[in-house]
A and B are shown apart, each in its own frame.
Chain A
Amino acid sequence: MLRISCPFCGVRDHSEFSYGGDASVEYPALDASESEWVEAVFQRENLDGVQFETWQHIQGCRMWIVVERDTRSHAIHSVRPAHEGIARALNAEQDGVSAS
């Protein structure tokens, strides 16, 4: 069992989460060329080692998160909200708490 530290709910079993996929994939603009879309939808690095990947806390807060995990050892190095704005707000709040 992997234990994932959800930024909102705390440490939970991975069976509460649903695996998304490679978080390094960036989707192109809607009017981008077909080959760019083929690349984003179908082609994967499939790294053996540390990768960033998306998970959804589907049986918890339902937020999407980005997990930095080693695909050989399953060791998890970091977790953050997938939404950049939420990640920034959460960081700011935590910095505020530690400063006070």
Chain B
Amino acid sequence: MKPYSAWKVFVNGLTGQKGWDRAWRDPEPKTEYDVVIVGAGLHGLATAYYLAKNHGIKNIAVVEKGWLGGGNGGRNTTIVRSNYMLPGNREFYEHSLKLWENLSHDLNYNVMFSQRAHVTLLHSPAARDGAARRYNTMRLTGSDGELWDLETLKRNIPHLNYSADARFPIIGAMAQPRAGTARHDAVAWGYARGADQQGVDILQNCEVTGVARNGSTVTGLQTSRGVIRAKKIGFAVAGNTSRLWRMAELGKLPIESHKLQAFVSEPLKPLLDHVVVFGVGGAHFYISQSDKGGMVFGGDIDWYKSYAQRGNLPIVQDVAECATSILPCLGRVRLLRHWSGVMDMSMDGSPFICKTPLDNLYLNAGWNYGGFKASPASGWYFADLIANDRPDPVIANHTLDRFARGINIDERGAGPDPKLHG
């Protein structure tokens, strides 16, 4: 496979675009692999990529029931940030942001990572104090964060609703300048191509229908494309983790599946240069503008458990109200489409990258709202866990038993109710 370059784009432009190879192979499944990852989403593909690149394991398959990047990898609002406060999360997401900063070069694939700043609006002195605490804590581990007064905010984003008569008048913002957005499909394609180049078999339309066990080990998977044996297996199927867990006869998980909607408007001329977040009272809203001009935005989950990739109308109304509340200029903009993805909502809002009750089975799950930005570090640390059979200290507490041990990682302080960890 030949690397992409500006020169290739130029040459192929002159020769009818005939000089391109396919980006990844479509191989037949082998009967046995050293590692099989279930789920060719961003996390599964990143895991395979780093297993090959960082740990020299080449005999890897990624099995996917649909097409790669067709789940939540293609159903998000593409926001990347590292403004987390709790130990473990802070180091994890900062490592992820650092990987994002070099991802296009690393993958030789333009993921269109745009560090346009993530700006959370503030509406009260108490919120400002909370933001100062969060951002000062973040800076201790090397993340960047700034408090913007009203003048700075107005200079950067002049057309928000600054009316003193607003239900929640804006008094300033907290900003992370290194945060931003990326092209979600390109991330899936880039990791798939990068993994494939190192010999990873990506097996699409290959649905897992059973997990074969021998006592406390897993021996392989029954799939719609035949039996595949594996020395090690990793699950990276957020949204459907509980289903796969039951196939392995492992019982219950501290996870509920909920759905989260996202929306995109018709394309507009450049309007919004930042990611803007509005969260006060009952509101929860985040918005940015894509490179095609569409306003990409979302809000809360649908508030009840679901496996349907189909959203409900009260949230559409809720999100539209939030949009017009902070950006009244969007009032007559038409919605182009909206979609819904199934989230693993965990009991404390934080993920799992951990060993399981079975010796050679590994779990990557529970990403709540935060899966997209986490993809590079998730793949990085999950690959490290699978290759070395022990967790890196950064993810040492991202285990299933943290609830029994009383070390929940609850960024929101919302307690053990999955729907509240938005």
A38/B403 in contact, CB under 8 A = yes
A48 interface residue per 8 A CB criterion? yes
Report the minimum CB–CB distance from A53 to chain B (whole Å).
Answer: 7
Known: A48-B242, A48-B257. A74 touches B416 (CB 8 A): no
* A83 lies within 8 A of chain B by Cβ: no
Q: A19 — which chain B residues lie within 8 A by C-beta?
A: 303-305, 419
Cα A21 to Cα B308 with chains together (Å): 17
* A87 sits at the interface (CB 8 A): no
Do B404 and A46 touch across chains, with their CB atoms under 8 A apart? Answer: no
Complex: A11 Cα to B314 Cα, angstroms: 17
State A21–B253 Cα separation when bound (angstroms): 14
B17 part of interface (Cβ distance < 8 Å): no
Q: B308 contacts A71, CB within 8 Å?
A: yes
* Cβ contact within 8 Å between B304 and A14: yes
Residue in A43, A55, A72 with the greatest tally of chain B CB atoms within 10 Å: A43
A-side contacts of B255, CB under 8 Å:
44, 46
Q: Answer whether residue A45 sits at the interface, using C-beta atoms and an 8 A cutoff.
A: yes
Give the A-B contact count at a CB cut-off of 8 A: 74
A41 / chain B contacts, CB cutoff of 8 Å: 347, 403, 416
- Report if B252 contacts A (CB, 8 A): yes
Is B307 among interface residues, defined by CB-CB distance under 8 A?
A: yes
Interface: B256 (CB within 8 A):
yes
CB <8 Å contact, B253 and A46: yes
Find chain B residues with CB under 8 A from A35 CB. Answer: 404
CB distance from A57 to the nearest CB of B (A): 14
A34 within 8 A of partner (CB): yes
Total chain A interface residues with beta-carbon distance under 8 A: 28
> Would you call B403 and A71 a contact (CB within 8 A)?
no
Chain A neighbourhood of B419, CB < 8 A? 19
Chain B residues within an 8 Å CB radius of A21: 256, 305, 417
Q: Is the CB–CB distance between B308 and A72 below 8 Å? A: yes
Q: Are A45 and B254 in contact (CB under 8 A)?
A: no
Return the contact of B305 from the options A13, A18, A39, A71 (Cβ within 8 A).
A71
Report the Cα distance A17→B410, complex, angstroms: 26
Chain B 148-174: CB-based contact to A (< 8 A → 1; otherwise 0): 000000000000000000000000000
Given A19-B304, A19-B305, verify A48-B243 contact (CB < 8 Å). yes
A48 → B minimal CB distance (Å): 5
Main secondary structure of the interface of B (DSSP, over half): mixed
CB proximity of B410 to chain A, nearest CB, Å: 12
Contact of B124 with A by CB under 8 A: no
Closest approach, in angstroms, between the C-beta of A15 and any C-beta of chain B? 4
Tell whether, in the assembled complex, residue A46 and residue B242 are in contact, meaning their CB atoms are under 8 Å apart: yes
* Contact B312 A2, beta carbon cutoff 8 Å: yes
Contact with B along A57-78 (1 / 0, CB 8 A): 0000000000000011110000
Contact mask B277-316 → A, CB, 8 Å, 1/0? Answer: 0000000000000000000000000011111101011100
Residue contact B254 to A71, C-beta cutoff 8 Å: no
CA gap between A18 and B404 in the complex, in Å: 28
Specify which chain A residues have a CB less than 8 angstroms from the CB of B314 in the assembled complex. 1, 13-15
Q: Is the CB of B256 within 8 A of A74?
A: no
Residues B254 and A42 in contact, CB atoms below 8 Å apart: yes
Q: Shortest distance in angstroms between B24's beta carbon and chain A's nearest beta carbon?
A: 30
Instruction: Determine which of A13, A34, A53, A71 lies in contact with B307 in the assembled complex, contact meaning CB atoms within 8 Å.
Output: A71
Closest CB-CB distance, A26 to chain B, in whole Å? 13
Residue of B nearest to A74 (CB): B308
**Bound Cα distance A97, B312 (Å):** 37
Nearest B residue (CB) for A41:
B416
Chain A residue at minimum C-beta to C-beta distance from B241? A46
Select A45's contact among B242, B310, B416, beta carbons within 8 Å: B242
A44-B255, A53-B305, A74-B306 are known; give 7 further A-B pairs, CB within 8 A: A14-B314, A19-B304, A22-B256, A42-B416, A46-B255, A71-B305, A71-B308
8 contacts between A and B (CB under 8 A): A14-B312, A18-B303, A19-B419, A43-B251, A44-B252, A48-B240, A71-B257, A71-B308
**5 nearest A-B pairs in the assembled complex, by CB-CB distance:** A46-B242, A43-B252, A19-B304, A42-B403, A15-B314
